[in-house]
Amino acid sequence: MITLRPAAERGHADHGWLDSWHSFSFAGYRDDNHVHWGPLRVINEDRVAAGRGFGEHGHRDMEIISYVLEGALGHKDSMGTSSSIVPGDVQRMSAGTGVQHSEFNHSESGATHFLQIWIIPSREDVAPSYEQKNFPAEEKRGRLRLVVSPDGADGSVSIHQDARMYAGLFDGAEESELTIAPGRLAYVHVARGEVVVNGRKLAAGDALLYEDEASVGIGEGQGAEVLVFDLPRM
């Protein structure tokens, strides 16, 4: 079964400095039909105004992934990490027993557009940790490049969960297919552009939820950037 989650049906919050769309229940947005998909708990599409950001706040027992589409996101945390996340980067913070961090758009003019993704870990109370890697566009062009995995396979960042995240860029005749193992779930999120996924034409913000399906097929993209999650059931 493949279920469409249209972009316009997501939760939305406009705080002036932050424009945010929520694929799953988050903060003031509650949707009992969209709380999580397997361990995939949050996909927030955030636009942070120039010179603004999220002040220091805490997390625990969550795998938090940041994926920047435009601009740059400054990051500082209680582990001593200070970094800038730019397009092509995948940042992973394992909150574990607890971590404080802040995120900021230091630009004086343009907004930072990024996806904040949370994955529920398979075990709690791990030591907090941080990892960031860059995946050039050529590695994602016309294919699904593994960028997050439980074991750091193929140079991906690692998380404490049997889940994988792939990123791909698609235009024209470029196409790719990902096999879904029996008993597992999948989730496709279109980050930007337009693309056809398993025969369905999708636009930015649209998503597909997969259950008891054999594969994800992607093609006919127009400036498309796509994230695909391979997930266990919970």
Which two structure tokens, joined as six digits, stand for 161?
């969960």
pLDDT score recorded for residue 219:
97
Q: What is the pLDDT of residues 32-62, one digit of tens each?
A: 999 999 999 999 999 999 988 777 787 899 9
Closest CA to 9 of 194, 209, 230: 209
Q: Does the pLDDT at position 80 exceed 80?
A: no
More confident residue, 143 or 27: 143
pLDDT score recorded for residue 53:
77
Q: Does the pLDDT at position 190 exceed 90?
A: yes
- If one counts every other C-beta atom within 10 angstroms of the C-beta of residue 182, the result is 6
CA distances 140 to 57, 59, 186, 226, Å, are 33, 30, 19, 10
Q: Does the pLDDT at position 86 exceed 90?
A: yes
More confident residue, 78 or 61: 61
Q: List alpha helices for 96-191, DSSP H.
A: 137-140
Closest CA to 48 of 75, 89, 16, 90: 16
Q: For 157-173, what is the mean pLDDT?
A: 98
pLDDT score recorded for residue 164:
98
Q: Does the pLDDT at position 180 exceed 80?
A: yes
Q: What is the mean pLDDT of the chain?
A: 95
pLDDT score recorded for residue 56:
79
pLDDT band at 67 (very low <50, low <70, confident <90, very high): very high
pLDDT band at 25 (very low <50, low <70, confident <90, very high): very high
pLDDT score recorded for residue 58:
78
Q: For 83-103, what is the mean pLDDT?
A: 91
Which one-letter amino acid corresponds to residue 137?
Answer: A
pLDDT score recorded for residue 148:
98
More confident residue, 227 or 82: 227
Angle at 171 between CA 167 and CA 175, to 5 degrees: 65
Q: Enter the CATH code of domain 2-231.
A: 2.60.120.10
Q: What is the pLDDT of residues 106-154, one digit of tens each?
A: 888 899 999 999 999 999 999 999 899 999 999 999 999 999 999 999 9
The values of phi and psi at residue 8, to 5°, are: -70, -15
Q: For 65-86, what is the mean pLDDT?
A: 88
Kindly report the pTM of this predicted structure: 0.96
Task: Look at strands 145-149 and 99-104 and give their pairing.
Answer: unpaired
